[in-house]
């Protein structure tokens, strides 16, 4: 017999662990030791998906779940004053952090990238929190469906000058045209589109909203076993719907297609259900402790490895006998792993080792109860 719980606590260990798994995978896929990478440790070329393409939607989904756990408790206590200013401040700080990352090394006002991963997180966090605080469930569901359906209709039927309607290429999609028209040279590497672009932020909000609905489900008065079954059922339904939709509107991370939203949210639900079953129901927690270390310091665990990685990539060293300077990252990878591993395996070993080094650093913070909050 499963024990019913009126409410989950303000923190859910399985959610922290899931967040930590996502952060660990993010560090690995962001840090190949050289210019080679296994297919699953790199993004899909365009349509389709790899394990790497799950990291960002998983993180946005988790943001949505976390909003419920962080705000619902305060609302139940009547702590409503000052919530919106705090949410706005946090969103602005996260956005500013994203701009700082973008400014290294391109800090020129005419070309600095305006959007990015942290910027999208900030926008989705703010609007999802706003919807949670100011609207009811019916409105929230309507907004989510409208975002997915409206984006699909726009991308499919609105003609793009010089390309026509329904073109889903890097240059010809409606999302790419909007990025060029509004952002100009302020796109990712001054390219023809931005992978965290303006129009594609609309369906990414739906990803966060699906996380919000999951958080509401997890805080309901159902038994833990019922909650787990609900996660699995919803995950199966969303994965199937996403796959079916992809037959006409392909899975694509850069465009953040509506099918991609449903498909990745379904996979996130499956993984969260597995973590929930192991940790909350079965009480098997030890395996998740290393991931919890990342999960409770998520923004810092995202930013700090990227800061160091930028240094390792931008700082170049003239090695003896080399025709030109090489990235410090590649020299370290070749020196430590290149002598006894193939370039492909050396690259993966470097990435995994880099993640473990950061895990050790955050483990020390965890042991000293140092948690970096925004």
Q: Are the C-beta atoms of residues 64 and 211 closer than 8 Å to each other?
A: yes
Compute the distance between CA of residue 267 and CA of residue 260 in angstroms, rounded to an integer: 11
Report the alpha-carbon distance of residue 356 to residue 176 in Å, rounded.
Answer: 37
pTM: predicted TM-score of the whole model, two decimal places? 0.93
Torsion of CA 188, 193, 194, 198, to 10 degrees: 140
Query: Chain-centre distance of CA 205, in angstroms?
Result: 12
Are 276 and 228 spatial neighbours (Cβ–Cβ below 8 Å)? yes
**335: exposed, middle or buried (Cβ count in 10 Å: 0-12, 13-18, 19+):** exposed
- 33-47, 61-75, 164-178, 313-327: range with lowest mean pLDDT: 313-327
Structure tokens, 61: 């989904």
Q: Which helix (H) or strand (E) holds 326?
A: strand 326-327
Q: 4 φ, ψ to 5°?
A: -75, 145
- In sequence order, the β-bridge partners of residue 326 are 317
- Read off the pLDDT of residues 34-71 as tens digits, 9 standing for 90 and up: 988 889 999 999 999 999 999 999 999 999 999 999 99
Q: Where are the domains of the chain?
A: 13-41+304-374, 43-283
Q: What are the structure tokens assigned to 187, written together?
A: 């796109």
* Nearest-angstrom CA–CA distance, 178 and 171: 11
If pLDDT is split at 50, 70 and 90, which confidence band does 340 have? confident
pLDDT tens digits for 130-161? 999 999 999 999 999 999 999 999 999 999 99
Residue 317 pLDDT: 85
Q: Is residue 324 scored above 90 in pLDDT?
A: no
pLDDT of residue 5: 43
Query: Would the pLDDT of 3 be above 60?
Result: no
User: What is the tens place of the pLDDT at every residue in 209-232?
Assistant: 999 999 999 999 999 999 999 999
Q: How far is CA 143 from CA 71, 151, 171, in A?
A: 20, 12, 28
Q: 235: part of which helix (H) or strand (E)? A: helix 224-246
Handedness of CA 115, 121, 127, 130 (dihedral sign): negative
pLDDT band, very low/low/confident/very high, at 72 (cuts 50, 70, 90)? confident
As a whole number of angstroms, the distance between CA 19 and CA 53 comes to 15
């Amino acid at each position: 017999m499963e024990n019913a719980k009126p409410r989950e606590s303000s923190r859910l260990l399985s959610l922290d662990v899931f967040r930590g798994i996502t952060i660990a995978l993010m560090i690995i896929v962001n840090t190949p030791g050289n210019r080679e990478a296994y297919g699953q440790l790199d993004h899909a070329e365009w349509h389709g998906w790899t394990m790497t393409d799950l990291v960002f939607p998983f993180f946005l989904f988790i943001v949505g779940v976390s909003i419920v756990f962080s705000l619902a408790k305060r609302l139940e206590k009547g702590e409503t004053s000052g919530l919106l200013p705090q949410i706005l401040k946090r969103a602005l700080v996260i956005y500013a952090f994203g701009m700082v990352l973008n400014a290294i090394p391109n800090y020129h006002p005419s070309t600095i990238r305006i959007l990015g991963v942290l910027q999208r997180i900030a926008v989705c966090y703010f609007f999802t929190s706003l919807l949670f605080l100011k609207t009811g469930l019916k409105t929230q569901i309507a907004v989510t469906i409208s975002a997915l359906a409206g984006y699909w209709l726009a991308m499919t039927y609105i003609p793009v000058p010089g390309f026509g309607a329904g073109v889903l290429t890097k240059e010809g999609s409606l999302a790419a045209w909007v990025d060029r028209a509004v952002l100009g040279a302020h796109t990712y590497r001054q390219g023809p589109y931005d992978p965290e672009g303006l129009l594609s932020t609309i369906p990414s909000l739906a990803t966060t909203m699906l996380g919000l609905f999951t958080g509401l489900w997890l805080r309901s008065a159902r038994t833990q076993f019922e909650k787990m079954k609900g996660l699995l059922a919803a995950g199966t339904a969303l994965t199937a719907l996403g796959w079916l939709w992809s037959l006409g509107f392909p899975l694509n991370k850069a465009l953040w297609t509506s099918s991609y939203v449903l498909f990745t949210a379904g996979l996130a639900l499956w993984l969260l259900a597995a973590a929930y079953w192991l940790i909350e129901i079965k009480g098997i927690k030890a395996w998740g402790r290393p991931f919890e270390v990342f999960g409770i310091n998520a923004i810092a665990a995202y930013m700090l490895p990227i800061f160091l990685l930028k240094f390792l990539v931008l700082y170049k060293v003239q090695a003896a006998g080399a025709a030109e300077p090489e990235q410090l990252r590649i020299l370290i990878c070749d020196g430590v792993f290149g002598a006894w591993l193939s370039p492909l395996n050396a690259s993966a070993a470097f990435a995994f080792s880099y993640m473990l080094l950061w895990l050790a650093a955050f483990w020390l913070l965890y042991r000293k109860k140092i948690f970096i909050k925004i």
